Amino acid sequence: MSSSSSTDPKPNANTTGTDAKTKPCYLPRITPIIPGLYLGNLLGSHNTTLLQAHHITAIVSLTTVPHVQIHPDTLAAGIPPSRHQWARVIDSSVQDLLMYMTEICDFIDRMGSPALKACISLPTGNDNSNAVGLDKHHHHDTNNGNGDGNDGDNDNEKEDWGVLVHCDLGRSRSPTIIIAYLMRKFGIGVDEALAFVKSKQKVKPRDGFLRQLKVWEETGYQVWEESDGAEEEGEGGDGGKEKRKGKKVPKEAYKVWLGERKLRLREMGF
């Protein structure tokens, strides 16, 4: 579902941070979650200094704001549209985030640094090192997707790139996707992943998004399955029948949620 406007309050583009009462979500912000994965807001994604300070080389944007993939400050940070995934979603209880979760999680995995790929469990306390299982005797592919290989002297620096996931304020949509990624990566439940993200930054996913994360958990972190293929006349030399590959259909838990969403939309007059 898409819309021309977001229900998130619009970030103040003129915010300078000089007002002590300004909430952090209205200031440029990028927060480390696990090694190589960051949570942020729209202003943070448009802040070249912050992006470069955190070695951000790929971005997932969950916003209705247009042209985010070609924003001058994002491009100046060295992040091309090919490394910037945009999902045009609103912060609404009826917004379907489940349909995007697998695609975004796969994108993060593709763009992720060796440090992110080597995470084997959630960090405990303030120490991230116990969550990283790097084989120091194993050569890692440190090509960050931009075609730049390591020169041998800056291996640690080049392995330290990050993926940023953001929405407008970094409170609801993007934390939901971060939680979904952690659930799939570590095979954990929504409660554990939510508590972990809350320990890193103040977030408040909508109840509707938390319900979707429960569905994500129930479906084993994949809401689609292939239907049984149908037999049809083939064009092979034997004139026999071939089995056509089944199409993707929603798993039962996702199908139930889609039904709930349909009723809710009807109640809202859509």
In sequence order, what DSSP letters do the residues of 226-262 get, joined into one string? EPPPPEEE--STT--EEEPPPPEEE-HHHHHHHHHHH
The mean per-residue pLDDT over the stretch 18-34 comes to 84
Residue 7 pLDDT: 38
DSSP three-state, residue 225 = strand
Model confidence band, residue 160 (pLDDT cutoffs 50, 70, 90): confident
Q: How long is the chain?
A: 270
Determine the Cα–Cα distance for residues 164 and 120; give it in Å rounded to an integer: 20
Mean pLDDT of 229-233: 51
- The predicted model gives 189-205 an average pLDDT of 98
Ordered by where they begin, the domains of the chain are 30-120+160-225+248-268 (3.90.190.10)
Residue 99 has pLDDT above 50, yes or no: yes
Confidence class of residue 2 from pLDDT cuts 50, 70 and 90? very low
Residue 183 to residue 192: CA distance in whole angstroms: 8
Burial class (CB in 10 A: 0-12, 13-18, 19+), 240: exposed
Mean pLDDT value of segment 223-251: 67
Residue 103 structure tokens: 């695609």
Residue 199's pLDDT is: 98
Task: State the residue for tokens 């977001």.
Answer: 6
